[in-house]
Amino acid sequence: MWTTLVTTIKVNLREKSNVFWMFAFPIILATLFVGMFSGLGGDGITPQRMAIVEDSNWSHVQQAGMLVKTLSGKDEANADRGTQQTLITPHAVDSIQSAQALVRKQQADGYLYANENGTLGIAVSDTLAADATNAISASNASITITALHSVINQFNQSMASAKTLAGDAARGLGNPSSNGTAASRNSYTYTTDHSLTHFAPDPFARYYYALLGMACLMSMSFAIVSITLSQANLSPLGARRSIAPLSKWKQLSASFCASWLVSFISLLVAFLYIRFVCGISAGGREGMAIVAIAISSFVATSCGLLIGALPWLSQGAKIGISTAIACIGALFAGLYGQYAMDVNDAISRKVPALHMLNPVKQVSDLFYDLLYYDSYRPFLLTTGIIILMGALFMGSAVMLLRRQRYEYL
Amino acid sequence: MNTAISSTATAAAPVSGEAAQGSSPRSGVPADASRTAISVKGLVKHYGSMLALDHFDLDVHRGEIFGLLGPNGSGKTTVINCILALLTYEAGAISVFDRPMTPVSYDLKRRIGVVPQSVALFNELTVEENIDYFCSLYIPKREERSRLVREAVSFVGLEEFTRFRPGKLSGGLARRLNIACGIVHKPDLVLFDEPTVAVDPQSRNAILEGIERLRDAGATVLYTSHYMEEVEQICTRIMIMDHGRRIALGTANELKDMIDLGERITVGTLDLEQDTLGRIRALPFVMQADYDGRELNVVCRHGDRNLADLLDLLNASGTSTGHLISRPPSLNDVFLELTGKALRD
């Protein structure tokens, strides 16, 4: 039995198409995801070199210095939240002319200045403006410029409100602008950032989890090949092995365990790549994620066992069926983009029972549960569904495999 | 080819019986010492509505190479699969070494080796790993296995190819590997199902020599083939079967005696008269006579004086003769006579 197990592992790992589809393909797909999502996540913002015109107008604008600190990611008040974003790399100058000179020398991408009325403005170089409007540019300048404009507009509005309040207060209370300024400043603190989950959610993590789900189901092929090669009615090699003095159940058990192990290894490799190269978190529960991989590979191997046990189908046809199941399951788990993810969410809201029939979705949910929920209860629930699913597959396969003699070979 | 397996013949023969209880089949004192290695009685097998075996009987004696001949679809492979307890059957009894054969007869299975019709190997394993794997199904001890694998490699002459994978081997080499995997555990009974299909004459000769060495080492061999000459060359007894039934059984000579066909005589002549040809056809031992202007071909019944009587007639008619060939009936003639000349699938 031991040599059968070792041999099955060797056969699975030496089959080139297996190695590509089960090991290389998930890594390639995850790498593509990194490329696709990098322009959309927070990391896509590129800081721009901005000259700060600190002239007399600038000195009259309250909180302008604080704004520059915030934009340059040096606001100590927000540092501990980990939510700071660097939009600019500031370079102080004393006049607009100096700022324009820097822009002309391409030592700055633009400049921030204050008007006589106390509002702030932003000017950008022609190069940066062109880059920002270029749809195929990879610099992400458009995101940065949009964010800068938005922040400065909000700042100007806040300052205008503060002035109005200060005027009212001066008239009504006789005490100057300090109250209004305080009110204005405090308006920023009316909302605070609280996470509802134990870990900061990553909107793109779901895609990687769906990818893991698909990779998991693709690994059914290990079990399909192993079972096909061990059954007398499925292959000449199976017939040859069946006449050996080793019980059918020992051979099947060895094939199942070997397929499970190889499936586990292939998923583990994909998970480690996604976790440590793509930077997708498992919610700080990496240990449980490995348990999830073991459970996931169990359901994949059981499903492969069942498909592999189907008589009258060639091995190629069975692999085709397994690929189709993995791809269709991945569609409804949201792997193929925003539209698929919307379908996935719609099913979750309207017919959640449908997801219970989709092993790709269940595997995907295992990792999702670990990341998003404080409690292990959802994870355990999904685990139960998967184990039940695996047991059903395995039971059905045993019914097909229990024969020792066949009417036809 | 090396004599690693045959070298054990003196120590191992006669065929053991109690090897089933140990890991090395061909050792120990026989406990089931009857002459029969395989006994099949009244076997009936249908594939759907098609009758594949029709009350089929077979007895293979220990230590013999038994040839099972039959056209395509005659039921040879079905018989083998029934003996190996892979196929169900409706009626009949099968015993191997005097014990009923079932799917869980592991003691018996340990004493049987099979070389299947199709090359059934792991394409991802090397030659050596393949042989070792199949050996491991019978022999758990690694040290013993290593020795047996070396001997099997040497037996089939694959020493230079141990690191090759089957896909890199020629057809003949793959067939030899197929054989090595079937005999590596030194079984008492080896079933060869058309092992020489699509191999060159050199490889075929090597395979046949190897089978004879197995027999010399004490093994019993059940051998199926389409090639009459090789069956005639190595088999002690031969059974011809067709439509799931036994048509004939005996030694090669006994089979030849079963049919009416005697020798085929060819005479080179350029001046055979039509009248003389008619007189030849009228001879009592002549089954068929044809003349193409250069050669006279005569198919005869059994007889001691066929050739002499034919030459007397030719001389008497003044026909000049050139070369003369007389061929005794071959097993191929017997096969075609018994199974017919209609094409099979």
How many angstroms separate the Cα of A4 from the Cα of each of A231, A246, A306, B144? 13, 10, 20, 17
* Residue B343 belongs to some domain of the structure: no
Note whether B198 and B56 are same-domain residues. yes
Yes or no: say if B38 and B62 are a contact pair by the CB < 8 Å rule: no
Closest chain B residue by Cα to residue A14? B124
- The answer to whether the Cβ–Cβ distance between B103 and A405 falls below 8 Å is yes
Yes or no: say if A50 and A88 are a contact pair by the CB < 8 Å rule: yes
Question: Which of B81, B109, B136 has the CB atom closest to A409's CB atom?
Answer: B81
* Residue B238 belongs to some domain of the structure: yes
Average pLDDT over residues B196-218: 86
Among A1, A3, A241, A251, pick the best mutation site for testing chain B contact (most B Cβ within 10 A). A3
Q: Which range has the top average pLDDT, A190-199, B63-72, B195-204? A: B63-72
- The CATH code of the domain that includes B118 is 3.40.50.300
Among A243, A255, A405, pick the best mutation site for testing chain B contact (most B Cβ within 10 A). A243
Beta strand ranges found along B171-271 (DSSP E): 189-193, 220-225, 237-242, 245-250, 261-268
Among B23, B78, B81, pick the best mutation site for testing chain A contact (most A Cβ within 10 A). B81
What CA–CA distance (Å, rounded) separates A95 from A391? 75
What CA–CA distance (Å, rounded) separates A68 from A112? 9
- The answer to whether the Cβ–Cβ distance between B124 and A15 falls below 8 Å is yes
Note whether B40 and B161 are same-domain residues. yes
Question: Which of A15, A240, A407 has the CB atom closest to B120's CB atom?
Answer: A240
* Residue B337 belongs to some domain of the structure: no
- The CATH code of the domain that includes B296 is 3.30.70.980
> What is the separation of C-alpha B217 from the centre of its chain, rounded to a whole number of angstroms?
18
Closest chain B residue by Cα to residue A229? B122
Chain A, chain B: beta-carbon pairs less than 8 Å apart = 81
How many angstroms separate the Cα of A79 from the Cα of each of A64, A76, A89, A279, B245? 19, 5, 17, 21, 92
Cis peptide before B14 (omega within 30 of 0): yes
Q: What is the pLDDT of residue A280?
A: 86
Note whether B192 and B264 are same-domain residues. no
Closest chain A residue by Cα to residue B132? A3
Q: Nearest Cα to B46, choosing from B104, B89, B100, B84? A: B89
Note whether B32 and B142 are same-domain residues. yes
User: Model-level pTM?
Assistant: 0.72
* Residue B1 belongs to some domain of the structure: no
Question: Which of A10, A245, A404 has the CB atom closest to B106's CB atom?
Answer: A245
Q: What is the pLDDT of residue A200?
A: 66
Contacts 24+ apart (CB under 8 A), A96-104: A96/A53, A96/A55, A98/A51, A98/A53, A99/A51, A99/A52, A99/A53, A99/A123, A102/A51, A103/A51
Minimal CA separation from B193 to chain A, in Å: 12
Residue-range domain boundaries for chain A: 2-38+203-401, 45-187
* C-alpha gyration radius of chain B: 24
Note whether B205 and B264 are same-domain residues. no
DSSP 8-state class, residue B330: P
Q: What is the pLDDT of residue A196?
A: 65
Question: Chain B partners of A405 at a C-beta cutoff of 8 Å?
Answer: 85-88, 103
Closest chain B residue by Cα to residue A231? B86
**How buried is A272 (Cβ within 10 angstroms: 0-12 exposed, 13-18 middle, 19+ buried)?**
middle
Note whether B62 and B90 are same-domain residues. yes
Question: Chain B partners of A4 at a C-beta cutoff of 8 Å?
Answer: 133, 136-137
- The answer to whether the Cβ–Cβ distance between A406 and B118 falls below 8 Å is no
Closest chain A residue by Cα to residue B104? A247
Among A15, A240, A246, pick the best mutation site for testing chain B contact (most B Cβ within 10 A). A240
Residue B307 pLDDT class (50, 70, 90 cuts): very high
* Residue B114 belongs to some domain of the structure: yes
Task: List the domain range (segments joined by +) for residue B287.
Answer: 260-328
* Residue B342 belongs to some domain of the structure: no
* Residue B166 belongs to some domain of the structure: yes
Largest CA distance in chain B: 78
Note whether B277 and B195 are same-domain residues. no
Q: How many CB atoms lie within 10 A of CB A220?
A: 32
Note whether B310 and B183 are same-domain residues. no
Q: What is the pLDDT of residue A133?
A: 64
Yes or no: say if A353 and A361 are a contact pair by the CB < 8 Å rule: no
- The answer to whether the Cβ–Cβ distance between B116 and A236 falls below 8 Å is yes
- The answer to whether the Cβ–Cβ distance between A232 and B85 falls below 8 Å is no
Closest chain B residue by Cα to residue A239? B86
Alpha helix locations (H) across B184-244? 201-216, 228-234
Chain A CB within 8 Å of residue B86 CB: yes
Question: Which of B112, B129, B137 has the CB atom closest to A246's CB atom?
Answer: B137
Minimal CA separation from B313 to chain A, in Å: 58
Is the ipTM above a cut-off of 0.85? no
Question: Chain A partners of B120 at a C-beta cutoff of 8 Å?
Answer: 235-237, 239-240
For the record, the structure tokens of B231 come out as 């069956």
Structural domains counted in chain B: 2
What CA–CA distance (Å, rounded) separates A347 from A358? 11
Show pLDDT as tens, one digit a residue, over chain A (409 residues): 788 999 999 998 888 888 888 888 889 988 988 888 765 555 456 788 889 998 888 888 878 888 888 888 776 655 554 455 778 889 999 888 899 999 888 888 899 998 888 888 888 888 877 776 665 555 567 777 888 888 888 888 888 887 777 776 666 554 544 444 444 444 444 455 666 666 666 778 888 999 999 999 999 999 999 998 888 888 899 899 989 998 888 888 999 999 999 999 999 999 999 999 888 888 788 899 999 999 999 999 999 999 999 888 888 899 999 999 999 999 988 888 888 888 888 888 888 888 888 999 999 999 988 888 888 999 999 999 999 999 999 999 999 888 777 887 7
Instruction: Give helix A315-332 / helix A359-372 axis angle, nearest 10°.
Output: 40
